[in-house]
Amino acid sequence: MGTKKRILITGAAGFIASNLIHRLLQSGQYRLIGIDNFDDFYSREQKERNLVPFISDPDFVFVEADIRNMAQLLALGDLDIIVHLAAKAGVRPSIQNPVLYQEVNVGGTQNLLEFARKRNIRQFVFASSSSVYGINEHIPWNEEEKLKPISPYASTKLSCEMLGHVYSYLYGIRFLALRFFTVYGPAQRPDLAIHKFFHSISHGQPIPVFGDGSTSRDYTYVEDTIRGIEAAIRYDQSDFEIINLGNHQTVTLAELIAAIEKICGKKAIIDRQPEQPGDVPQTYADISKARRLLNYRPETGLEKGLMSFYKWYLANT
């Protein structure tokens, strides 16, 4: 077997990245360097717990570093591929602090692209978001839609996609922007709805429901998302692509709550709240491009995925 390709994974201690690292190490095909600055958006304790399963793996090195710090990046050594999953997350918090989101998400991505240029790294996989579509009634959304982001977070993701196009065009870096659709599963962030709902329903606490429960999301199980990322790591047919990674199914908030109630064996106490600025009424992915380019085929239905998350939740809280 030839030399293993070396991959830098940013946001390594986070939800999606830790699941990705687990899968890539299982494949035995790569040497991984994970970086994370342990942003205080949620607890360092959970992030460190996410790293425990592979921190001693000989094919994995973890470095506490910030994507905005070029000196830290340049100290990482030679690399073949960047998978950029680090970001200031969350639509609502971005409205409270838009300048910081711009600095971390856009400035950090710019820094990584410069790093890729300087080090001649030719493959760059970027975690974008379904939030770039904004309010758009032409569902399901395909990658050619007119984009109307309605939050600072969404606008930063769109900016990063365009930065990727610039660096792909000028410097021949293959840039793949993967638009994730409401990813959930083991190790999911505690601020996200599924995690919060399981916690509150299990403990008999009210859950905040924004609006009348009719908003809908294309919930995508993390293992399906990971398979899409893994295919993007290997992709070599073109130099710039934007690709949806969704489940191609929508679930209303009311349906989600009912499914979680069934798994917990308890009824939710609903705390009705007004709709939140920056939240879109629905997300729904057209995944035909992902099928065509990445052979992407999501396999996990909502009930199975929620049960998998609940088992992780019980073991880790």
- Rounded to 5 degrees, φ, ψ at 241 are -145, 145
User: What share of residues in the chain are helix, strand, coil (percent, to 5)?
Assistant: 45, 20, 35
Nearest residue to 84 via CA among 34, 136, 30 = 34
**Counting Cβ atoms within 10 Å, is residue 204 exposed (0-12), middle (13-18) or buried (19+)?**
exposed
Residue 315 neighbours by CB under 8 Å, 6+ apart: none
Nearest residue to 299 via CA among 248, 257, 244 = 248
Q: Which DSSP state fits 304?
A: H
- Which residues, listed in sequence order, are joined to residue 141 by a DSSP beta bridge? 285
Pure H helices in 120-192: 152-171
Helices 302-316 and 193-202, packing angle to 10 deg: 60
Nearest residue to 229 via CA among 92, 82, 118, 91 = 82
Answer yes or no: 219 catalytic.
no
Rounded to whole angstroms, the Cα distance separating 288 from 181 reads 14
The distance in angstroms from the start CA to the end CA of the chain is 41
Quote the Cα angle for 252-294-29, to 5°: 115
- Rounded to 5 degrees, φ, ψ at 77 are 90, -170
Catalytic residue among 153, 184, 221, 296: 153
Contact assessment for residue 132 and residue 156, using Cβ atoms and an 8 Å cutoff: no
Q: Which DSSP state fits 3?
A: P
Residue 58 neighbours by CB under 8 Å, 6+ apart: none
Which residues does the annotation mark as catalytic? 153
